[in-house]
Amino acid sequence: MAENEQQERDISDLEEDPPKNLEDWPDDERKYETFGGREGDHGYEEGPEAKLGPSGLVHHEDGSVSIDGEKVDDPDQYKGDPIPGGPTDPDAKRLSGED
């Protein structure tokens, strides 16, 4: 099997079941591949991007969430886990000057 075919199969596997932790993502040339192939081949709702959530989803600064302009009743349903060490991680070490 050609190396290119194996890489395509690996990316396809990632699209079907993306890793939850950043450390589990590929650290080779596969990290530069775009999900779903070239841009323009399909719409957001038709490709693997749809697994990220509805295309009309918007997170607002006040913590609310809307889909296609309609605010949702439970914004927490549309929020992922905080990135470890990121600004939304409650266990992250705070830098001087941060609140």
Judge if 42 and 85 occupy the same domain.
no
CA distance 7 to 2: 9
Q: Are residues 72 and 85 in the same domain?
A: yes
The reported pLDDT for the residue numbered 35 is 57
Mean pLDDT of the chain: 79
Question: Taking the model in full, what pTM does it have?
Answer: 0.44
Judgement on whether residues 35 and 61 belong to the same structural domain of the protein: no
pLDDT tens by residue, 35-80:
555 566 777 777 777 777 788 889 899 989 999 999 999 998 888 8
What number is the average pLDDT over the span 12-40?
74
Do 45 and 72 have their domain in common?
no
- Which amino acid belongs to residue 50? A
| Pairing verdict, β 70-71 and 65-67 | antiparallel
* 9 and 46 share one domain: yes
Domain range for residue 85?
54-89
pLDDT-above-90 percentage for the chain: 12
In a 3-state reduction of DSSP, which class is residue 16? helix
Residues 45 and 66 reside in one and the same domain = no
Tokens of 86: 């990121």
Q: Is residue 96 part of a domain?
A: no
> Could you give the number of structural domains in the chain?
2
pLDDT at 96 over 70: yes
Give yes or no for residue 6 having a pLDDT over 60.
yes
| Among the listed residues 74, 70, 90, the one whose alpha carbon sits nearest the alpha carbon of residue 82 | 90
For residues 3 and 46, membership in a common domain is answered with yes
